[in-house]
Amino acid sequence: MLSRGVPRIVDADQRRRELAEAVWRVIRRDGVPGASVRTVAREAGTSMGALRHWFATQDELLHFAMTLVMERARARAEAVAASGGPLVPRLLRVLEETLPLDDERRAETEVWLALTARALVDPRLAELRDRSAAELHGFCTQVVQVLVAEGAARAELDVGLEGERLYAVLDGLAVHAVTRPSALPPDRAREVLAAHLAALRDTP
Amino acid sequence: MLSRGVPRIVDADQRRRELAEAVWRVIRRDGVPGASVRTVAREAGTSMGALRHWFATQDELLHFAMTLVMERARARAEAVAASGGPLVPRLLRVLEETLPLDDERRAETEVWLALTARALVDPRLAELRDRSAAELHGFCTQVVQVLVAEGAARAELDVGLEGERLYAVLDGLAVHAVTRPSALPPDRAREVLAAHLAALRDTP
DNA sequence: CTCTTGATAGCACGACTGTGCTACTTTCTC
DNA sequence: GAGAAAGTAGCACAGTCGTGCTATCAAGAG
């Protein structure tokens, strides 16, 4: 029943990803309001009809574009987490994956910021954002927990509160790095994050 | 030459502020894309023509609305800074003024976030945002400096780096408090910020 | 009074929007 | 071969957008 007959070049999910990446390019160039059906279709080198074949509505398109951002960041983070090396520096590198330290992550963060703002008035996007935010927040708390268990952070720390603080540092750095790249270049952002983790260890 | 003859109810600046506040209400309800000339005029209880009399273009309207947000936050902060009491807790309260801890500040932060995102693709808004960001960043650094001088923070701290970190915590908390209010209620945000300042004192 | 000017009101235009819809092409199954 | 289905293309519609523009109204200046 699969692939009954078509100019099937790639599988469906792959095609949707390609189109969603065209959405990113448009959003980066012209912002979310510039991501009209026509503009995205032109950017993707296809037609309105084809685009609407894959995404019935504009909301669905934006929704999928945001899902993809989150999914990719997550995949990158998990790859780093599964890599070798000592645990503590590895956790630092996992956290760094959420920062806009290179062009690819910069693009993702810009799209994330634009869609986060839009989520203030779009319930469907808000639900997505909440899920990913809860996930990252939970991960930050876990990191603090692990650091304490590893002796890389003071034992008397309030884990919940420190998780919240780490999460704030992370997103704060992300916003600043993406909005004022010259004031907070990648190396500086990395340095601040590392200093924050170090401060959890050095101590009374 | 001033006020040659008019149904002059209030002075010009006051009128522009009223209209800009209508912009906020619309932005909070429908987001920046919902802030059309017609919508804002309706919200303000006036006409398109009247609105365009005070703001020649839509960009000018949004620009002024953002200016007003920044101006108000600044005025509030300066009022707290000029108030009495011990220096260190007072600095904490000044920093708290930038967080969305009540309805008024929540509105301002929502508008700030929406316009920050739009500033990614609007050079005029970007210039505004950069100015206010540089100001807050500078203030954060000054706070660290003062804390060190007052003996409320460790002397060996890297002031520049700690200023950057405090600034990240501040904006991170602002974003989280406004996007996920139930996960980060006002008291909790205040607690995290206070803990951050306390962590600059307690020490190796 | 008239004249001038601030302020308001809202129509008109062209551009752009999302989406419903049909027509067409390509490739598979039978 | 015929038929079906996946995918592409883009027109048509109703609606919203920003802004140019003119008309009107209120009130102080002369």
List pLDDT tens digits, range B86-104: 999 999 999 999 999 999 8
Q: What is the pLDDT of residue B181?
A: 96
| A46 within a domain of the structure (yes/no) | yes
Domain count of chain B? 2
Q: Is the CB of B135 under 7 A from strand D?
A: no
| A51 shares its domain with A77 | no
- The per-residue pLDDT for range B130-181, each reduced to its tens digit, is 999 999 999 999 999 999 999 999 999 999 999 999 999 999 999 999 999 9
Among A171, A156, A47, A31, smallest CA distance to B173 is for A171
pLDDT digits (tens, 9 = 90+) for B5-63: 344 445 788 999 999 999 999 999 998 989 999 999 999 999 999 999 999 999 999 99
Give the span between the Cα atoms of B81 and B35, in whole angstroms. 34
Q: What does the block give as tokens for B87?
A: 């220096």
Which of the nucleotides lies closest to B30 (Cα–C1')? D16
CA distance A175 to B172: 8
Query: Are residues A114 and A195 located together in one domain of the fold?
Result: yes
A34 CB closer than 7 A to any strand C atom: yes
**CA–CA separation, B24 vs B75, rounded Å?**
18
Binding-face residues of B in 123-152 toward A, CB within 8 A: 129-130, 133-134, 137
Closest residue by Cα to residue B184 from A164, A141, A37, A44: A164
Smallest CA–C1' distance to C16, residue: A36
> Domain range holding A14?
9-56
26-55 in chain B: CB under 8 A from chain A? 28-34
Average pLDDT value for chain B: 92
What CATH number is associated with residue A113? 1.10.357.10
B30 CB-to-strand D distance under 7 Å: no
Residue A170 lies in a domain: yes
Please name the residue ranges forming H helices in chain B: 12-30, 37-44, 48-54, 58-82, 87-96, 103-119, 123-149, 159-179, 186-201
Question: Does A87 lie in the same domain as A31?
Answer: no
Q: Residue A172 is nearest to which of B172, B191, B199, comparing CB atoms?
A: B172
Check if B180 contacts A (Cβ < 8 Å): yes
Nearest to A120 among B113, B173, B199 (CB): B113
Burial A156-187 (b: 16+ CB within 10 A, else e): ebeeebbbbbbbbbbbbbbbbbbbbeeebebe
Judged against a pLDDT cut of 90, whether residue A172 lies above it is answered with yes
Q: What residues contact residue B96 under an 8 Å CB cut-off, 6+ apart?
A: B190, B193
* A185 and A100, same domain (yes or no): yes
Q: Is A185 helix (H, G, I), strand (E, B) or coil?
A: coil
Encode pLDDT of A27-48 as tens digits: 999 989 899 999 999 999 999 9
Q: pLDDT at position B13, please?
A: 87
Q: Are residues A123 and A26 in the same domain?
A: no
Residue A148 CA neighbour count, 13 Å, CB half:
15
Nearest CA distance, B82 vs chain A (angstrom) = 28
CATH code of the domain covering residue B19: 1.10.10.60
A79 shares its domain with A52 = no
Residues B170 and B154 in one domain: yes
**A52 with A70, same domain?**
no
Pull the structure tokens for residue A152. Answer: 């890389």
Instruction: Name the minimum distance, in Å, from the CA of B50 to any CA of chain A.
Output: 26
The verdict on B17 and B91 lying in the same domain is: no
Residues B44 and B91 in one domain: no
Judgement on whether residues B51 and B107 belong to the same structural domain of the protein:
no
CATH number, domain at A33?
1.10.10
Mean pLDDT, chain A, rounded, equals: 92
